[in-house]
Amino acid sequence: MTLGALLEAAYRKRFEFNVPMNIGLAVSLVTGVILSAPFGDFEPNYPKIVTKVVLLVVLGAILGMGMAKQRKSGEPVGPPLFWTAVLVSVAATSVAVLW
């Protein structure tokens, strides 16, 4: 969800962070916790869980800083911060899908 909202903003060339990005971040965290819960004889992959949580914390920090800057100045975030959020979101999605 977060990646989709970021890519949509990039397509429109409006480097802004918005509420759907924060909702996507929360959904990623909740679904990750639910899917990593040990059911039966399942042994959780702890390195993957830690990596995913670290990426989500970093992404949350980037989105939080960007939204605070937007709120203060009323202007969109800079392209470097925006593209950093996109890269971290792609990394988090890749860890979830490929690992």
Please state the domain extents for the chain. Answer: 2-36+44-98
Tell me how far the alpha carbon of residue 36 is from its chain's centroid. Answer: 18
Which uninterrupted H or E stretch holds 86?
helix 79-98
- For 37, the token pair is 């819960």
pLDDT in tens, 65-92: 999 999 999 999 999 999 999 999 999 9
Q: Output 37 or 26, whichever has higher pLDDT.
A: 26
Report whether pLDDT(42) > 80.
Answer: no
Q: Does the global pTM surpass 0.85?
A: yes
